[in-house]
Amino acid sequence: MGRLLILILLVVAAWYFFKYVAGPSKGRRSDRDDAVPAQEQMLACGYCGLHVPESEGIRIGDAFYCCEAHGRQANGPHDG
């Protein structure tokens, strides 16, 4: 009976070591998980109105566009 108790204690100690001492596991949260990702301003395209992150669009003068094509279409010669 004593050997069985010692074996169970060794198994529990090994489990505890690998779960908590050997490093963060997939189930545990780390300090990096608590960090809030940087937020970026969403701007509306001056041509189509689509909202995109500021870093993904382009600026022509004071206007903001979601892509180069919309910037060219908005600032190019108008048919009419």
Q: What is the pLDDT of residue 38?
A: 78
User: In Å, what is the CA distance from 24 to each residue of 14, 20, 33, 51?
Assistant: 15, 7, 12, 39
| 73-78 average pLDDT score | 80
Q: What are phi and psi of 60, to 5 degrees?
A: -125, 110
Question: pTM of the predicted model, to two decimals?
Answer: 0.50
Distance of CA 33 to the CA centre of its chain: 10
pLDDT at 26 over 80: no
pLDDT of residue 80: 44
Q: Where are the extended beta strands (E) located within 1-80?
A: 42-44, 51-53, 58-60, 63-65
Question: pLDDT, tens digit, for every residue of 28-62?
Answer: 555 555 666 778 999 999 999 999 999 999 999 99
Return the CA Rg of the chain. Answer: 29
Q: Which two tokens stand for residue 74?
A: 């908005």
